[in-house]
Amino acid sequence: MLFPTSRPMYQQRFQIPSPTQVSLNVHKRLRPQTPCLACCFAAVLLLVAGCNRSNVEPQKSETNFQPAKQDAAANEKTETQDASLAEQAYREHRLGNSQRAMRLVQQSLIQDPTDIATLRLAVELYSQSADYCLAAEFASKLADLDSQNSDKIRLRVFDWYIKCGNFAAAEQNLKDGLAVDPNNVNFNRLLAQLLNAQGRRFEASEYARELIRLRAVNPAEVLSLIDLSGPYYLASFDEFISLDKPSLFQLGKLREQYTKLNVDPDRILQKLRELREAFPDNAALAAFQGRVLTESAHFDELAQWLDALPENTSEQPEYWSTIGNWLVHRGEDRSAIRAFGESLRRDPTDRESLRQLLQVLTRLDLDTQAEKARQNLVTLDRIFRIAKQADPDQMRWIAEQLQQLTRPWESIGWLIYDAQVTGQMALRIPQIGKRADAVKQWESAASEEQLRSVRLNSLLGFNINEIPLPNLKGVTDSTQTPSGDNTANQASEGRRIDFADIASQCGIQMTFESGFPHDGMGFHPYQVNGGGIAVIDFDLDGWNDLYFANAGDDPRNDNASQPNRLYRSQHDEQFQDVSEMAGVTSRHFGQGVAAGDLNQDGFLDLVVGNIGRNDIYLNQGDGTFLELAADKIDDQSAWTSCVGIADVTGDHLPEIIEVNYIDDPKSFDARCEEDYLTCQPQRFNAAADRVFVNQGQGHFTAWDQFDAHRDVRQHGFGLVIANFDRKLGNDFFVANDGDLNHYWVSVPNERTDTSPYELAESASIRGCSIGRGGNSQACMGVASGDLDRNGTLDLLITNFHNEPVNLFLQSRSGFFADESVRYGLFEPTYSVLGFGTQSSDFDNDGWPDLAALSGHVFNATAEGVPFRMKPQLFRGSSNGFALQNDEDLSDYWQQEQLGRTLAVLDLQHDGQIDLVSSHLDLPIALLKNRSDSGHWFQLELIGVESERDAIGAEISVRSGTQTWHAWQTGGDGYMCSNEPVLHIGLGSATRIDEVKIDWPSGKTQSFSDIDADQRYLLIEGDDQLAPRW
């Protein structure tokens, strides 16, 4: 949708004007029903047309329906019996005998149904008796006969048909008028209003564009053409809609509801089924139903949907986007390209079809062919985001972009809009006129189909006509799943995944305390997000220790929170709290935690992100930490969500990457009571992320090159650092809450000689800024790994309730596609609000699995929305991901909770990946892996020329025909640091043919004939892998 939070809905006045009132804008606007667009267009509201449908009294003007004694047509019949009947009827009417007058009118019209005077009287009688349908019917006949007043009469006909609820007749009346007078501004405007309100956005766009051709368009109508997939209201017809009677206005309402937060697609689909029973022949309705079916993964219903389509549905863009999604689901990618192209041929604003088309091209390794289309998608996304509140410079930019996209009339519409806003219409008229004449001449030289093809080619950069139209005859099998090499999966048939919480048995007794009320009622925004976890072998004894951030009290009160905790492993599944002795008991309001070797001495240090000043603890190697003095690092006062430690400048020293959330002091006083929306994060200023460069000797300074992007602010949450594209240095991905994600890609630093690399934000062009549907989501947790086994690093992003996860699969050429539907994750994740998530091969069958924590941020159980939610386990295979039945799992997975942070480790050196989790309402959980297991391989890396943690390193492991990939990452998802080990599940393989390591320094090493089921250590440059256990 164009406006996620509010839409233009105006009560308008319908009225037939006297001739002196007639102009390009004949109606007057009344009160706006929502304030948002009224503010947006305050300077130009007087240009918008309107009508008053509640006006019953006829105008005392030349359009009055009383018989005129001087009327030429009436004079011709004054001596006839028909005329005398009409005169008698009129006299009875004047005397107040309406019933007798009606009988006389009916008798007169039986004898001469074309008598204008009698028709006028019939119209007046029926309208005054509030029989609006009959009044409209006779007025429509009158409009056909009275050419002089036809246009004004048809406006009244429209008014009456709307009042009596015959909306189809109201529409047809206007179309009949346009058949005679195609340049009629009022008819085009009313059709645009009516069809938009009915959710028939594609049909409405024809009339909005005609208003541009007539140079009578207003700003709201220009904006209506930006995105035809979402809802848009130019006028409200609500007072004429009966709640008990189906109408196509319900399609408009359902289209609006479908775009809202927390929408239930099954409820939308049920209402669409009921509406289709009432309007089985409406193509727009049928096409929208198909779209919802595929976007909510109801592929099993599509064969029946296809068999029951009304005529001409294939002209609807949403029909073709539905077919495209269906073909993708069936694995028929090449045909899907043509289907998405057919949608774009009809609707070049369909960003979702363009996004899906690009994903198919990416999957087919045709990224080079997709280059122009990808750049155009970035442009369309930007237009979509800025159009509502565009300033004059942006309006002219939009006009220029639309011209380049071969949408010349819409380009002219934005030039008109700009001229209206800047008060330069008189100066711009000649220029606009010349451009309009040129467009008309261009259009006259080609057919509509040719024009569509030219527009499509300019959007895509290639000709889709080379691909045949899909043949849908006999297509009934809608159960196909993604194809792939399932050798490893077959070997693990029946393998079980499960984890059991052993924290209390191990001596870990801690609960994250932020002050969040366990009933979810009455809280502050800073209490919601949870606290960090770091898996850190701080004493280098080979066993994982655990560090937990804590919080409490007001973040503005320094050192008033509960202390952070460090638990040292005792090697036998027992842990000892050594927080005080180690000197890491920060009492700031803790958020994310990162572990890494900041000073390259071989001991992992800690960085704690807080709301306020962050903490940096340097490991002294003797079991204690030294807090870095405040003067050793630039000012860090911020609301930090996540932190990461990695080299991103290319100097082989690790930087501190700081992902920040809110930069607004008002957020500390905001309190969420009954309505969470009053204090949701988007109400507060977003914070800029920061990178602190390691200057050596314990000094860190803000990186100037990155600070130059401080205007790129979002509400940052999750973080993953790695060499995603295998080029230059490390890149990093940031999941942003409720807005575009960021993907910072390493590029050569050609401006200064201070560092080899700098970072360029590239999420939109690379395809991971937003997911399916093209709308921003509440992205929070991030899991990474080669989730589809194609040899590239992929991302999984958790989202809000009634938002599925994003599964960003990376192509070999470095572009991402959201494949949550194809890989079985859409439906099971749609109904939860996800936070921390991790990916690893939990059962070592050779395919990565997924774990995710869930829990709402406020209590909306009164509205039927779950508050506490169960965590989820997904078993991966060549066919995608399957949610494990919680009834077959341990108690932890059956317990509803407010889960937040999740990290991975190998607790017992058994080659099985375990989990540690934090919650708002439960103690820390240490989840021991009790899954059935295949074989495995683990590798620890120590950099020499590379920075010591070797963030950005990649390994590939080959056994027979199988190859696996793993990456050394920083950030590690949501507020956490995982154990720094590369883990590969090998399935049935007991021996490894080759291990290849690509170091951040650019060096490559390889080793052959390696035993499985062992962990190895490799120091960069050593000639052998050293067994760890």
pTM score above 0.95: no
Inter-residue contact 201 to 386 (CB < 8 Å): no
Return the structure tokens found at 591: 């958020």
Cα separation, 345 vs 820, whole angstroms: 26
- Which residue type occupies 685? N
**What's the topology of domain 85-224?**
1.25.40
- Which residue type occupies 386? I
Cα separation values, 329 from 326, 335, 342, 477, 479, Å: 5, 12, 18, 11, 8
Return the structure tokens found at 920: 């708002």
- pLDDT at site 74: 40
Cα separation, 491 vs 990, whole angstroms: 13
Cα separation, 124 vs 117, whole angstroms: 11
Cα separation, 427 vs 653, whole angstroms: 59
Inter-residue contact 48 to 101 (CB < 8 Å): no
What element of type H or E holds 75?
helix 72-75
Collapsing DSSP to helix, strand or coil, 775 comes out as coil
Inter-residue contact 290 to 302 (CB < 8 Å): yes
Cα separation, 249 vs 244, whole angstroms: 13
Question: What is the chain's Cα-based Rg?
Answer: 33
Q: How many CB atoms lie within 10 A of CB 427?
A: 10
Dihedral Cα 538, 541, 544, 547, nearest 10 deg: -20
Domain 502-954, CATH: 2.130.10.10
- Where are the chain's structural domains? 85-224, 502-954, 955-1027
- pLDDT at site 597: 98
Return the structure tokens found at 793: 């690093």
Cα separation, 48 vs 189, whole angstroms: 10
- pLDDT at site 73: 39
Write the pLDDT tens digit of every residue in 261-304.
Answer: 667 889 999 999 999 999 999 999 999 999 999 988 899 999 99
Inter-residue contact 870 to 893 (CB < 8 Å): yes
Largest Cα span, the chain: 120
Inter-residue contact 872 to 854 (CB < 8 Å): yes
- pLDDT at site 262: 66
| DSSP annotation string for 785-805 | E-TTSSSS-EEEE---TT-PP
Dihedral Cα 31, 32, 37, 38, nearest 10 deg: 20
Query: For 137, phi and psi rounded to 5 degrees?
Result: -60, -45
What element of type H or E holds 619?
strand 615-619
- pLDDT at site 336: 95
**Residues constituting the chain:** 1029
- What does pLDDT average to in each consecutive run of 10 residues of the chain (1029 residues)? 28 27 29 32 28 32 40 40 60 69 73 79 79 89 89 94 95 96 97 98 98 95 96 94 91 91 84 96 98 91 94 96 94 94 97 93 86 94 93 96 97 96 91 94 93 96 93 59 39 72 96 94 94 98 98 90 96 94 96 98 97 95 91 78 97 96 93 78 92 90 86 92 96 94 94 87 92 82 97 97 93 91 91 97 97 95 92 95 90 96 97 98 97 96 98 98 98 97 97 98 97 98 94
